[in-house]
Amino acid sequence: MKLWDFLARRMRAHASLPAFADGTSYAALLSLVEARAKTCGGSGRLIPVARHLRREQAVEILAVLASGNAAVPLDLAYGAKRFEAVWRRIAEGGERCPDLAFVLFTSGTSGDPKGVMLTDENILENLRMIERYFPLEAGERLLIARPLVHAAVLTGELLYGLCRGACLSFYEETFQPSRLRREIEARSVSVLCGTPTLFAHLAAVSRGKPCGLKRCAISGERLFPETAQKIAAAFPGVRFYHVYGLTEHAPRAAALPPEEFLSRAGSVGRLLPGVEGRIADDGELLLRSPCVMKGYFGDPAATAAKIEGGWLKTGDLVRQDAGGYLYILGRKDGMLIRCGVNILPEEIEEAASACPGVRACAVCGEADETKGQKITLFFQGEVLPGKVRAFLAERLAAYLMPDAVRRAEDLPVSPGGKRMRKC
């Protein structure tokens, strides 16, 4: 089945309900999408979609799908160099696949961005997986607060929301926790998805005051137990799902239900039905399922390095307990090396997040002639750097202690809210 055929059928079932918070009904949205689809032309092509407003980008993405082409969502915040790199990959790739739904370009922080090819089947299977664990009622208000270029947002929020008949609104402003909270209240939002960093900032300005949220999904980076406790305390009564996935898996692969959000804090839960997993000798999580990407666009060598014997190499280092619950330890490619010693930045961040007065933190590595890398801990909060350092000294082995501890107005995070590892 084509992805658009599935979406259109689901959307028609909610024809009279509002699809967007501005009052656009599902019937009106379908008409708009089908009209714009006629302007796309052909089929089996890659069509880049870049718009200033997320609402408009969402409509254009749907139109590309309806036309039988594959959408390549792009973020105008990429900058000229990244845009140039993406356009070059599209022009040079040469692949045209009728079964493609999306090509999503990864961050490319360590080199040229890679285009993840996701098929109709990849997305459809992932939507079915999400439907099994994350309830969403027709008419519920879901706020999309992150760029649509991310698989978690595209599949888990936009497409899933439309499948379930949700009323979608789009946060179009630069991220500011207090402004986002006001938007949640003003629009009567009940469902929100985001990274631990997003929710930690939102928790800091909420301070336990109800804002209307009922269900939230947290993903995108490691969630430390202390951070989970702070978030839960700031939003009493809200049901939090901790979920795990990656772009190359369309994206969802595991989920922790709200009933275990605190009792198993730090775990991303168990693999979803239909997803097989095993842990390699070096601790890397490998996945096999119908959601595994077709490959990297125009890059068979990178595809072969990422998928071996049908198993997707996630790049995530994990441990699994006797109950099958997964705990993410860090990124295989995010390892910092100082004086020849491998250091997982997440170990330092987990310790720092428990320090009273620290709201959020991020560890970065910087090239150093004598050490190979210097390690800096950036944090936000009402506490002096010296107190944070003293707190860490009591809890971390000497080899894990950062070279510098600095309070910062803004943490080094990507546009999608993930921690950056370079100073």
Domain boundaries, the chain: 3-328, 335-407
Residues in the chain: 423
Q: Is the separation of the CB atoms in 45 and 96 below 8 Å? A: yes
CA 77 to chain centre: 17
Least confident of 135-144, 305-314, 340-349, 401-410: 340-349
SS (H, E, C) 195-213: CHHHHHHHHHHHCCCCCCC
pLDDT reading at 107 higher than 70: no
Place of tokens 């619950």: 325
Mean pLDDT of 352-361: 93
- pLDDT > 70? residue 415: no
- Residue 342, pLDDT score: 74
203-259 tens-digit pLDDT:
989 988 889 999 999 998 888 898 899 999 999 999 999 999 999 999 999 999 999
Segment 392-401 mean pLDDT? 90
Segment 275-302 shows an average pLDDT of 95
Given the structure tokens 């910092």, which residue do they identify? 336
Q: Are 12 and 26 a contacting pair, CB within 8 Å?
A: yes
For 94-104, write each residue's pLDDT tens digit.
666 789 999 99
Confidence check: pLDDT of 411 > 50: yes
pLDDT number for residue 77? 74
pTM, entire model: 0.84
pLDDT of 371 above 80:
no
Per-residue pLDDT tens digits for 12-26: 999 999 999 999 999
Q: Are 31 and 42 in contact, with CB atoms under 8 Å apart?
A: no
Tokens of 364: 């970065």
The secondary element (H helix, E strand) that includes residue 234 is helix 225-234
**Domain 335-407 homologous superfamily, CATH:** ANL, C-terminal domain (3.30.300.30)
Burial 236-258 (b: 16+ CB within 10 A, else e): eebbbbbbbbbbbbbbbbbbbee
At the topology level, CATH places domain 3-328 in Rossmann fold (3.40.50)
- 193 close to 134: Cβ distance less than 8 angstroms: no
**What digits encode the pLDDT tens for the residues 279-289?**
999 999 999 99
Element (H, E) at 10: helix 3-12
Write out pLDDT tens, residues 26-72. Answer: 999 999 999 999 999 878 889 999 999 999 999 999 999 999 999 99
Instruction: Report how far apart the first and last C-alpha atoms of the chain are (Å, whole number).
Output: 46
Quick check: 277 and 283 in contact, CB under 8 A?
Answer: no
Q: Is 278 left (phi over 0), alpha (psi -120 to 50) or beta?
A: beta
Q: Specify burial of residue 188 (Cβ count, 10 A radius: 0-12, 13-18, 19+).
A: middle
Instruction: Report pLDDT for 110.
Output: 42
Based on the number of CB atoms within 10 Å of its own CB, is 395 exposed (0-12), middle (13-18) or buried (19 or more)? middle
For residue 341, the model assigns a pLDDT of 76
Q: What mean pLDDT is reported for the chain? A: 91
Distance CA 233, CA 226 (A): 11
Q: Is the pLDDT of residue 111 over 60?
A: no
Per-residue confidence (pLDDT) for residue 117, from 0 to 100:
96
